[in-house]
């Protein structure tokens, strides 16, 4: 982990604790935090209390483990959206929409939801406008299923165990086994689809954005269109163009 100078203000030490614990990617206990940092237990206990009271960490239902709280997640999302490369990413997305003629978006996983980091709308009057910051369900959106497919089995189970598979349309997958089977298929084929599973009459195809040669899926880029104008089969023909855009976007995070 990045070492904070010994004479640094206490606030930077709190930031260092957040940084190292969030990098674990799963809830952690006081003992976990002490083990990872090597700091004295009383100090770590006090710091965790400060972060919890500040709304940056929240206790899990078991009362023993901590996880990032909504305030911290919102802060991370804002920082990601306002990064120095945001203009470059938006330009890639805008060119993609120019090329294919339909709305495209850039999304990330936020807790058990998908958040829109950026979106460029098509010029057609018939469209569904979803602004950056919009959140959609993870189990019935193309990007959401893509993120679930690429999570570790333990983290995926943790999300799905606490997630009601709410039916939004007649084609929403509400059976856990059927959803898990589709997630395995997504890993094999390299893309995910939304066959009118979230909104009737709307289809979507998403591909992963992978940064700097890392296997981690940082975000997803997707095309979304009314089924009356573009069938799912037609949307699937755009996968190579989506992959090219995802590679360009991945280079901005390298």
**What is each CA distance from 220 to 77, 99, 231, 247, in whole angstroms?**
14, 18, 21, 11
- pTM above threshold 0.75: no
CA distance linking residue 108 with residue 9, whole number of Å: 32
What residue spans of the chain are helical by DSSP H?
Answer: 10-22, 30-37, 41-53, 70-81, 86-100, 142-150, 153-161, 176-189, 232-236, 239-251
Residues 149 and 246 in one domain: yes
Task: Indicate whether 84 pLDDT > 70.
Answer: no
Last residue in a domain, options 21, 48, 68: 68
On whether residue 36 sits in a domain, the answer given is yes
∠ CA 97-98-104 to the nearest 5 degrees? 0
CA distance linking residue 220 with residue 222, whole number of Å: 7
Residues 114 and 62 in one domain: no
- The neighbour count for residue 136, using CB atoms within 10 Å, is 21
- The neighbour count for residue 171, using CB atoms within 10 Å, is 13
Residues 30 and 115 in one domain: no
pLDDT digits (tens, 9 = 90+) for 19-33: 888 777 778 899 989
pLDDT digits (tens, 9 = 90+) for 6-62: 566 777 888 888 888 877 777 889 998 999 888 999 999 999 999 999 888 888 877
Q: Is the dihedral of CA 193, 198, 200, 202 positive or negative?
A: negative
pLDDT digits (tens, 9 = 90+) for 117-145: 889 988 887 666 677 778 899 999 999 99
On whether residue 46 sits in a domain, the answer given is yes
Residues 21 and 108 in one domain: no
On whether residue 1 sits in a domain, the answer given is no
Residues 63 and 144 in one domain: no
Residues 233 and 134 in one domain: yes
């Amino acid at each position: 982990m990045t070492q904070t100078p010994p004479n640094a203000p206490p606030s930077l030490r709190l930031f260092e604790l957040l940084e190292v614990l969030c990098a674990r990617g799963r809830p952690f206990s006081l003992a976990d935090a002490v083990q990872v940092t090597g700091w004295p237990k009383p100090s770590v206990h006090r710091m965790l209390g400060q972060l919890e009271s500040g709304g940056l960490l929240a206790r899990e239902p078991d009362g023993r483990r901590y996880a990032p709280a909504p305030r911290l997640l919102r802060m991370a999302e804002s920082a990601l959206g306002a990064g120095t490369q945001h203009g470059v990413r938006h330009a890639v997305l805008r060119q993609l929409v120019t090329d294919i003629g339909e709305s495209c978006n850039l999304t990330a996983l936020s807790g058990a939801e998908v958040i829109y980091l950026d979106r460029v709308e098509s010029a057609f009057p018939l469209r569904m406008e979803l602004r950056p910051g919009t959140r959609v369900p993870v189990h019935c959106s193309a990007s959401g299923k893509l993120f679930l497919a690429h999570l570790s089995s333990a983290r995926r189970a943790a999300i799905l165990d606490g997630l009601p598979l709410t039916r939004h349309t007649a084609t929403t997958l509400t059976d856990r086994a059927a959803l898990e089977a589709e997630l395995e298929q997504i890993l094999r084929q390299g893309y995910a689809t939304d066959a009118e599973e979230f909104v009737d009459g709307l289809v979507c195809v998403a591909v992963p954005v992978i940064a700097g040669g890392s296997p981690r899926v940082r975000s997803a880029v997707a095309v979304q269109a009314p089924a009356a104008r573009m069938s799912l089969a037609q949307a699937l023909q755009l996968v190579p163009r989506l992959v090219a855009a995802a590679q360009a976007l991945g280079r901005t995070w390298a």
